């Protein structure tokens, strides 16, 4: 028994709606993941900056000066 065009059209429209909803959920998930990755990268980058010497290990002249 063949399906009539109205049934096929209704099924296709329902499938399209479901796929569009799934895509939206996927987009939202991807955005959240990107945000989390960016935050963690910033945290790791700031840790690296804290560990590295700021001025290449030079001595601060204000600290080594003596009052005469």
Q: What is the DSSP letter of 52?
A: S
Please, which pLDDT band fits residue 1 given cuts at 50, 70 and 90?
low
Q: Does 68 score more than 60 pLDDT?
A: no
Only one residue has tokens 């399209």, namely: 16
Summarize pLDDT for 2-61 with one digit per residue, the tens: 889 999 999 999 999 999 999 999 999 999 999 999 999 999 999 988 887 656 655 666
| Phi-psi sector, 31: left (phi>0), alpha (psi -120 to 50), beta | alpha
């Amino acid at each position: 028994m063949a399906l009539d065009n109205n049934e096929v059209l209704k099924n296709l429209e329902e499938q399209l709606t479901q796929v569009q909803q799934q895509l939206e959920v996927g987009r939202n998930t991807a955005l959240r993941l990107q945000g989390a990755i960016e935050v963690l990268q910033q945290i790791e980058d700031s840790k690296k900056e804290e560990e590295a010497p700021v001025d290449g290990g030079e001595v601060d002249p204000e600290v080594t000066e003596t009052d005469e």
